[in-house]
Amino acid sequence: MAQDIYERLARHLDDLPAGFPRTESGVEFRILRRLFTPEDAEFALHLTMIPEEARVVARRAKIPVKEAVQRLDEMNKKGLIMGIQHKDKPTLYMALQFVVGFWEAQVNKLSPELIRDFEEYFPCFARPEVWRKAPQMRTIPVDKSISIETAVMPHERAQEFVRNHTTFAVSNCICRQEQRIMDKGCDKPEESCMSFGMAAEITIDNGRGRAISREEALSIIQRAEEAGLVLQPGNAKNPVFMCTCCSCCCGVLRALKLDPKPGRLVSSPFLASFNPDTCKGCGTCIKRCQMEAFHLDDKKAVLNLDRCIGCGLCVSTCPTKSLSLVRKPEEQQPYVPKNIIETHIRLGQARGKLSKGKLIGMQVRSKLDRLLARS
């Protein structure tokens, strides 16, 4: 009976935008059993990507509202679902997908066994063809790499969307934490993942991070550039989170780095431009690049543009100014969704899991359940 519950949960998660694909080894079920009790797994089936009040979920699960609130709050604290609180209004609850989702919510709670299962599963989960069509994250350049002459949109500068928010949180990077526990990785800053607005409030309320000021948020961005970390916000013009990533720990960058042409997979509006005539062959760019886009040949750096993701880390520290960022041609500019809702819809459609008919059906069902739950 319990195994059937986890099979149903796996199917439910696979129908969410990011998916939860099956494997021959069944490692995905080990992950679910480590995180969800059988009761949690069954209850999670009643949540969707549409935020709803506890009374609506209670009606679907056929349990009292008071019991539903207690169970939903417990699962929210475990990081298995998302609870959204608004002042003077009932809390809304929604499903969390695996990544980006309830995996990241396990920060500070990782065990070696869970990490080993994740490492076994992630190569099956990370599919380059889906990421190319609808990435959950995008790459933006570090500010020092942007020249006055370079045309930059507001959503392409980290400082701009930080200034657009008033609530900020920072939490430990689950990727670096995972690698540290396994005695791998690097010595880059662990407390480095930021969230903004409502996402920051959720992070703080659930104890997964601490509140910070706008000034500290901006200083974390500056520290990331100094440490050679790639800025990766959520793939939306108004992102609710931003990671500062290295390719030795970050799951996304590790997956991209394995591809022979990561520059064609990542969502980035820029490329590095290189002037070999002024290059002194110091090798700084080789050390800074997270995608191994550079190598030395005859005491000169050589840039492989197929591996460039436009992060600007090589540009900001080139002592001879031989590197600069240039904007990709218009036909190569990635589409950036307006918000995280559009990001998820596009991801679900790219996977063939969220047709317009299914989306409308989900909205109609939610509206009907809300109406019936009032009676």
Domain boundaries, the chain: 2-124+351-374, 135-332
Per-residue pLDDT of the chain (375 residues; tens, 9 = 90+): 566 999 999 999 999 999 999 999 999 999 999 999 999 999 999 999 999 999 999 999 999 999 999 999 999 999 999 999 988 899 999 999 999 999 999 999 999 999 999 999 999 998 888 999 999 999 999 999 998 788 899 999 999 989 999 999 999 999 999 999 999 989 999 999 999 999 999 999 999 999 999 999 999 999 999 999 999 999 999 999 999 999 999 999 999 999 999 999 999 999 999 999 999 999 999 999 999 999 999 999 999 999 999 999 999 999 999 999 999 999 999 999 999 999 999 999 999 998 889 989 999 999 999 999 986
Tokens of 302: 């050589």
Tokens of 300: 């000169």
Tokens of 349: 């459609």
CB hemisphere CA count around 319 (13 angstroms): 6
Euclidean distance between CA atoms 303 and 288, whole angstroms: 13
Q: Cα(first)–Cα(last) distance of the chain, in Å?
A: 33
Could you please state the CATH topology (level 3) that the domain comprising 135-332 is classified under.
Alpha-Beta Plaits (3.30.70)
Euclidean distance between CA atoms 216 and 168, whole angstroms: 9
**CATH number of this structure's domain 2-124+351-374, picked from the four choices 3.40.50.720, 1.10.10.10, 1.10.3720.10, 1.10.1760.20:** 1.10.10.10
pTM for this model (two decimals): 0.95
Euclidean distance between CA atoms 287 and 317, whole angstroms: 10
